[in-house]
Chain A
């Protein structure tokens, strides 16, 4: 195969530098020992990470984000499995429309969804509630879960199911004992990707969150609007470390390239 020339490698280095610079600076500033934003030139310190613990608002938002992500991804996966099986295995009238509808939240700007949900939830009395957050998150993360489960159920060998059925298994048993285990990698990765998307969402959530029930990115965003201090750098750095850890797990589980590129070589 061809090799990259020196110009290409210089470009590549600069490009990676561009991508990493803002992420690294957050992680570096978070370790400052000063009381203000600065590079940790006078020794590293964990004081700002400790300060997160003294800030119950961030801790509560973090916990709410985790719970919200877990519940909404589970619901999204629950709705996605039967829908994916229908789309992958059956030809029926409206199949294309249904697929497009289920993937459409990817096309609608999150700011528009935020406004739509704010209006809707205010009207039906769910404004600022945790239930509202869950319902809205299910809608925006369902496409991610659906895509991976769809890919898994499309590539599955159906003769095993037929074998189970011919041996007298009911369709529920076949699903539980044959189909589900076979599509499980897709389901698990779909859940994780859905969770990450729920956990990171800020644009839509900022509209429907209330001071009592809010997520970490929203809390962070509102805090940054007022002032930027080492505390937000520490919170962001903690988030980045967690994301990197989740990414490594995801890479092992499914392959990050396949996950992000979608239909990679399977």
Chain B
């Protein structure tokens, strides 16, 4: 995941309605095909072929002395589905992704709401601080957490001096550490998503509720929340998908000891050299990602149709 690691995974799902309606219906006009042909050819050769080759590779078998065998079988998949070692890794991956998504929603949604109620120039400045990290290399951001957790131990020193904890908490090489760092990397996506849904909310509606005697909390619960739920949900899809396939952050904070699906695939490829198994892990990750993104998008769009208009 680069910063914008993969910026707005969601947009891929919504792509078709962002484009403008066509000027006029055209029949058998070759122009659009000719115009998109170069990119189409590029994607066919450089995206579809490599992905298809990975799928085929995942069906091959591997031996320590024989290398990659050109046979077709599902052994890698049955290995992953039956071995408790892989269960543990996939379970950990999804547990981390789930907690990160939850934390991002709890932190990001209120922050987006607060940002919207701010006034310029503060609003612009704060938005820059919140969204800016998306453009900073994920390696640098994770390094920051490694410094805070480990080497300098600032977090533990601070927590102990305020008396919150008695003994240092182990952050490096633990799920807690990975979750904190990943939340930091991904929470801007949640703010972005909720921010976008807040743009459609007319502040006058809140004022109307207030003038009719609603308490601030009631306004928040009955007026604001229903409007931003789609934003929170689509933000959650993005965050979950990116967290489940995150690589650099779990690799640096989790290390070799705390493997997740992405670092497992990496190890199989570059250390164990069992490419077919690594490819199978990658294919499962891809399928899970696409199912989650496309499936949840459909669900949200159907449930909240009126909000997306």
A109–B133 Cα distance when bound, in Å, is 20
Cross-chain contact A115 with B279 (CB below 8 angstroms):
yes
Q: Is A247 part of the contact surface with B, judged by Cβ < 8 Å?
A: yes
Which A residues lie within 8 Å of B137 (CB)?
Answer: 199-200, 202, 217, 220, 236, 239, 243
Given contacts A217-B139, A233-B143, A244-B132, whether A119 and B57 have CB atoms under 8 Å apart is yes
Given contacts A19-B133, A261-B192, whether A154 and B117 have CB atoms under 8 Å apart is no
A244–B136 Cα distance when bound, in Å, is 8
Given contacts A29-B152, A101-B43, A260-B134, whether A110 and B6 have CB atoms under 8 Å apart is yes
Interface majority SS on B: helix, strand, loop or mixed? helix
A251–B129 Cα distance when bound, in Å, is 12
Q: Is A189 part of the contact surface with B, judged by Cβ < 8 Å?
A: no
Q: For chain A residues 58-106, which have a beta carbon within 8 Å of chain B?
A: 79-80, 82-83, 85-92, 95-96, 98-106
Cross-chain contact B40 with A98 (CB below 8 angstroms):
yes
Cross-chain contact A262 with B19 (CB below 8 angstroms):
no
Q: Is B54 part of the contact surface with A, judged by Cβ < 8 Å?
A: yes
Q: Is A33 part of the contact surface with B, judged by Cβ < 8 Å?
A: no
B248 to A, closest residue via Cβ: A202
Cross-chain contact A110 with B2 (CB below 8 angstroms):
yes
A110–B252 Cα distance when bound, in Å, is 17
Most chain A CB within a 10 A radius of its CB, from B133, B143, B262: B143
Cross-chain contact A80 with B2 (CB below 8 angstroms):
no
Q: Is A256 part of the contact surface with B, judged by Cβ < 8 Å?
A: yes
Cross-chain contact A18 with B184 (CB below 8 angstroms):
yes
A193–B131 Cα distance when bound, in Å, is 14
Task: Tell me, rounded to whole Å, the shortest Cβ–Cβ distance linking B35 to chain A.
Answer: 4
Interface majority SS on A: helix, strand, loop or mixed? helix
What does the 1/0 interface line of A105-147 toward B look like (CB < 8 Å)? 1111111110111111001000000000001101110111001
On chain B, the number of residues with a Cβ less than 8 Å from chain A's Cβ atoms is 110
Given contacts A83-B39, A224-B252, whether A15 and B107 have CB atoms under 8 Å apart is yes
Cross-chain contact A115 with B139 (CB below 8 angstroms):
no
Q: For chain A residues 244-266, which have a beta carbon within 8 Å of chain B?
A: 244, 246-247, 251, 256-257, 260-265
Given contacts A2-B117, A25-B147, A106-B12, whether A89 and B23 have CB atoms under 8 Å apart is yes
Q: For chain A residues 37-54, which have a beta carbon within 8 Å of chain B?
A: 37-39
Cross-chain contact B140 with A196 (CB below 8 angstroms):
no
Most chain B CB within a 10 A radius of its CB, from A26, A39, A246: A26
A202–B137 Cα distance when bound, in Å, is 8
Which A residues lie within 8 Å of B115 (CB)?
Answer: 12
A148–B119 Cα distance when bound, in Å, is 27
Task: Tell me, rounded to whole Å, the shortest Cβ–Cβ distance linking B156 to chain A.
Answer: 14
Which B residues lie within 8 Å of A2 (CB)?
Answer: 117, 203, 206-207
A80: contacting residue among B39, B139, B192, B290, CB under 8 A: B39
Which A residues lie within 8 Å of B51 (CB)?
Answer: 108, 112, 116
Cross-chain contact B50 with A117 (CB below 8 angstroms):
yes
A116 to B, closest residue via Cβ: B50
Cross-chain contact A115 with B39 (CB below 8 angstroms):
no
Cross-chain contact A135 with B114 (CB below 8 angstroms):
no
A236 to B, closest residue via Cβ: B140
Cross-chain contact A139 with B47 (CB below 8 angstroms):
yes
Q: Is B306 part of the contact surface with A, judged by Cβ < 8 Å?
A: no
Cross-chain contact A143 with B12 (CB below 8 angstroms):
yes
Q: For chain B residues 243-271, which have a beta carbon within 8 Å of chain A?
A: 244-245, 247-248, 251-252, 262, 265-266, 269-270
A216–B23 Cα distance when bound, in Å, is 45
Cross-chain contact A105 with B265 (CB below 8 angstroms):
no
Cross-chain contact A102 with B43 (CB below 8 angstroms):
yes
Cross-chain contact B144 with A25 (CB below 8 angstroms):
yes
Cross-chain contact B140 with A26 (CB below 8 angstroms):
yes
A79: contacting residue among B2, B39, B241, B269, CB under 8 A: B39
Cross-chain contact B141 with A119 (CB below 8 angstroms):
no
Q: Is B164 part of the contact surface with A, judged by Cβ < 8 Å?
A: no
Q: For chain B residues 159-210, which have a beta carbon within 8 Å of chain A?
A: 181, 184, 187-188, 192, 195-196, 199, 203, 206-207
Given A8-B110, A247-B135, A257-B127, 12 further pairs, Cβ under 8 A: A95-B32, A101-B47, A107-B6, A109-B241, A154-B19, A197-B4, A200-B2, A200-B135, A203-B247, A220-B140, A225-B251, A239-B136
Binding site for B on A (CB under 8 A): 1-4, 8-9, 11-12, 15-16, 18-26, 29, 37-39, 79-80, 82-83, 85-92, 95-96, 98-113, 115-120, 123, 135-136, 138-140, 142-144, 147, 150-151, 154-155, 158, 193, 196-197, 199-203, 206-207, 217, 220-221, 224-225, 228, 232-233, 236, 239-240, 243-244, 246-247, 251, 256-257, 260-265
**What are 27 pairs between A and B in contact, CB < 8 Å?**
A1-B119, A12-B115, A18-B107, A87-B32, A103-B15, A106-B8, A106-B11, A107-B13, A108-B290, A109-B241, A110-B245, A112-B289, A115-B265, A119-B53, A193-B4, A197-B2, A200-B2, A200-B136, A202-B139, A203-B1, A203-B5, A206-B247, A228-B151, A236-B137, A256-B128, A260-B131, A262-B196
